[in-house]
Structure 1
Amino acid sequence: MTDLLDHGAAAIARAVRSGKVKARHIAEMAIARVEALNPALTAIVDFNPAEARASADAVDARLKQGFDGPILGVPYTVKDTTWVAGRRVTNGSLLYKDFIPPRNAVAVERLKEAGGVFLGMTNTPEMAAKGHTENKVYGPTRHPLDHNLTPGGSSGGAAAALAAGFSPIALGTDGGGSGRRPASHCGVVGLKTSAGAIPNPFGFGGAYGPLYGVTAPMGRTVADAKVAFEVMAGPDPHDPHSVPTLDIPPPAQPRIAFSPRLGLGVAVDPDVMSAVEAAVEKLRAAGWRIELADIAWPEGTNEAAFGAVNAAASALLYGERERQDKALFGDNVTALIERGRTLAGTEVVAAYRFADACARAVAEFFTRYDYLITPTTACVSWPVEQVSPKVIENREVGPRGHAVFTPLFNLALVPGISVPCGTGRAGLPVGLQIVAPRLHDRPLLAMAQRAETALTQ
């Protein structure tokens, strides 16, 4: 039984359901790993083993009463931006260091009701506002393969916890690639769901708004991310933006496009490009028909074009508190607040119009193709002391240069997933991003499972 924690969510649930092992025993395995490995990683924050034990004992008690669930006894983690009732949730910020949510987020409630065992909160950058996981509350999260590196962000704690083997599934978020990019860096799976697929009426509320920032089921495999998605997805009457996903099979002969630089000439490190191109060739050898094609993006498209909204929202949400006590905030959020104070309303409206133009461009592209393949990130993980890499492919890049492949699909409201596809320099993981039309989350997951199988043979 010592290896059961590594066998995935379905295997754990079967074992607990059959009575071969108790949820409490699985929880003890997970606790032992966290206690052994987490002090060097800070993937899980403010760890309380008593919570995990109580959660597991509650599952065992329900099982005796005839309860069953799809993730029976399966440990899961929750990003420290998402409400867990009665538990300290800081949003990675000193502003919320003593905050206790009054209720669970809908996604958390559904994981609990499905028989999951809450293991702990995972680290996030302040307000989930950058692609490097560190904050003034808990400090940095480190990469499980090399503690000198970052796992990325903002769901860096979730990805690191998965890669370290603490749990099969994790609840992250994705407002611009926050679930996909750390998954790529850590060699796990991150799903950016369609806007509205997983309801989120209760919580802090992201700067981007309820459609652009979404819940991200994450797992060590596509199957684990899929079971987490199925548990959390579906409309909720409290969330006017929630919608049902389409229960349709993948097309028999899918039309697949590969866009190595998104049609934007972005910088990509050679080791990443080599791994992604090798993966595409492996998929072709497995029978996938893949064409080179790019989306016809609006003029002036780049990874930072929506930044005015984030800055304006930061100024609105946190500006007054920043004036009162600047020490509460880190440099990144402070810079966003300061920029937001200078923005004209026309600049914010222009950013929203740009987002709509991106959504239309992606929708047009998916009238000709069923799926799009890209790299997930432009580089592998970088030193934990750096907020972002300054040079990619021998070119100087901005602070979002590593993130170029993900945020535009948040603006397009479509689902995307990162699956491991090989390694780059120093054996560091590289991810392959697959994108599908809006609400085609289930067909996307099926294609991702096919890709995972082909790439691991």
Structure 2
Amino acid sequence: MTRPAHSAREIAADVAAGRTSAIEAAKAALGRIEAARALNAVVTVDLERTLADAATVDARLRAGEIMPLAGVPIVVKDNIWVGGWRVTQGSRLFADFVAPQDAIAIERLRKAGAVVVGIGATSEFASKGVTASPLFGPTRHPLDPALTPGGSSGGPAVAVAAGLVPLAIGTDAGGSSRRPPAHVGVAGFKPSHGVIPYGPGFAEPFFGLSVIAPIATDVVDIALAFKTMAGADRRDPDSAIIAQEASDIAGHRIAFSPRFGLDVAVDDVVANGLSAAIARLSAAGLRISQRDPVWPAGATEDAIMPLQHAGLAALHGEAFRKDPTVLDPDIAKQIERGLSWSGADVAGALVASAAIAKAFAAFFSEIDLLLTPTVPCVAWPLAQLGPDMIGGKAASQRAHAVFTPFVNHARLPAISIPCGADRSGLPFGLQIVGPRGQDLMLLEAAREIEAILRM
């Protein structure tokens, strides 16, 4: 499999300078996608539309327009609207849906010169920790096709890790664009809630939690995409303006929490790899203390999961009642649970969510950055919802996801960057979390941390 020769910023520079064209960049990406069909990372292509869009970018350049992402080929997750493209949410219920318009984030990327070359696989309704759907089947890990890349943004993450495109756009409501990047060895960024406008698009089961999330091979490309997509828009009442400037990491108060203050299992290879990374960062001059967030009693993913189940039931309960077999069996189970939750159960989950956010607010009143594992384990077999064992203990189906969902409930920014690998070469990641709205500070810190870890 051939990796692209350049990063997103290098492709944009080459296209803008006339050393290549947007059409040539698009054709090269389409060729790589075709050669990697067995990975099932990109589930929809539209050759004519892509080449027409690339030709438009070339024409805009000839007219003198300046575009920061000129000709950069991108893959967009199959739950984000791309106008004129089939976008299905990985569901038979939406198998023939064609998006009537771009989501705001995609509109901004295309205005900046990016060219959509494909739609990336997701689990059905982006509601599962592996990327497999009844419509398209499983997405495979680029280093071992017998393994899953995790989910739900597995398609976009694999598209970047396998070198099909330098940049992909996912969503993240509980870690969906941080865990798959960690498992395949690339970077994934979950912005503060509202910083990148969400929609127009599908009704969202993760009310108030999901964000648009760029995935790339490094933090510099992540930041380029983020700055292109970020900023308030009146079409999204939750959207907000980023006002603060980036700052370097010198002087930041940094905490390392090896288990996030939770009673959870972590594989030795991950725990040891994170400890070694922290030692390298400390040796480079970063001030890092070991400190855990203090969570309210009963703070577990189980306490907040009714929100996901109830959201799925509200949107797709009628289809479930008509024919549950049309849905992924695991999604059908979630909808069935959602239909059984009482109003008090859902309200209780909202209370738990708010308590988690308050705990994080207290923590970040004294700390600037939090470092944790992104995942407690490396990738696992394709047919399983999670690994059988983590840290030498029998693992539940969601034990692989313990370090990411709380960040969404607090609406904080967080990024996963590669941190190490096991003996077979399977990667894991370092998660860096910052205060809400401090996305630019976090990205600059992540860039500096990434540089240190790559030395």
**Category of TM-score, reference length = shorter chain:** over 0.9
Deviations 1:51-110 (A, max 9, x none): 322221111111111111110111111000001111110001001001111111111111
* Alpha carbons 2:250, 2:286 under 8 Å: kept: no
Question: For structure 1, which runs of at least 5 residues remain unmatched after alignment?
Answer: none
* Alpha carbons 1:295, 1:362 under 8 Å: kept: yes
Compared CA separation, residues 233 and 223, structure 1 to 2 (3 A): same
Mapped to 1, the partners of 2:128 and 2:376 lie a distance apart of 16
Mapped to 2, the partners of 1:279 and 1:389 lie a distance apart of 24
Q: Counterpart of 2:58?
A: 60
Mapped to 1, the partners of 2:74 and 2:90 lie a distance apart of 19
* Alpha carbons 2:190, 2:213 under 8 Å: kept: yes
3-state SS in 1 of match to 2:292: coil
What does residue range 132-171 of structure 1 map to in structure 2 within 5 Å?
A: 132-171=130-169
Q: Counterpart of 2:346?
A: 348
Q: Counterpart of 1:221?
A: 218
Deviates more, 1:248-257 or 1:408-417: 248-257
Mapped to 1, the partners of 2:47 and 2:199 lie a distance apart of 29
3-state SS in 2 of match to 1:112: helix
Mapped to 1, the partners of 2:336 and 2:69 lie a distance apart of 44
3-state SS in 1 of match to 2:303: coil
Q: Counterpart of 2:267?
A: 269
By how many angstroms is 1:330 displaced?
Answer: 0.8
* Alpha carbons 1:306, 1:352 under 8 Å: kept: yes
* Alpha carbons 2:412, 2:435 under 8 Å: kept: yes
Find out whether 1:233 has 2:230 as its counterpart: yes
* Alpha carbons 2:3, 2:162 under 8 Å: kept: no
What does residue range 173-188 of structure 1 map to in structure 2 within 5 Å?
A: 173-188=171-186
Question: For structure 2, which runs of at least 5 residues remain unmatched after alignment?
Answer: none
Mapped to 1, the partners of 2:335 and 2:16 lie a distance apart of 50
Mapped to 2, the partners of 1:92 and 1:193 lie a distance apart of 24
Question: What is the RMSD of the two structures over their aligned residues, measured on CA atoms?
Answer: 1.4
Where do 4+ consecutive residues of structure 1 move more than 6 Å? none
Deviations 1:303-336 (A, max 9, x none): 2321111111111111111111222101111111
Deviations 1:172-207 (A, max 9, x none): 000000000001001000001101010013111321
Equivalent AA in structure 2 for residue 373 of structure 1:
L
What does residue range 270-289 of structure 1 map to in structure 2 within 5 Å?
A: 270-289=268-287
What does residue range 39-438 of structure 1 map to in structure 2 within 5 Å?
A: 39-209=37-207, 211-250=208-247, 252-438=250-436
How much identity, in percent, do the aligned residues show? 46
3-state SS in 1 of match to 2:387: coil
Deviations 1:88-138 (A, max 9, x none): 100010010011111111111111000001111000000000110001111
Equivalent AA in structure 2 for residue 418 of structure 1:
S
Compared CA separation, residues 246 and 390, structure 1 to 2 (3 A): farther
Q: Counterpart of 1:19?
A: 18
Q: Counterpart of 1:449?
A: 447
Deviates more, 1:333-342 or 1:430-439: 333-342
Mapped to 2, the partners of 1:122 and 1:284 lie a distance apart of 38
* Alpha carbons 1:152, 1:182 under 8 Å: kept: yes
By how many angstroms is 1:247 displaced?
Answer: 2.2
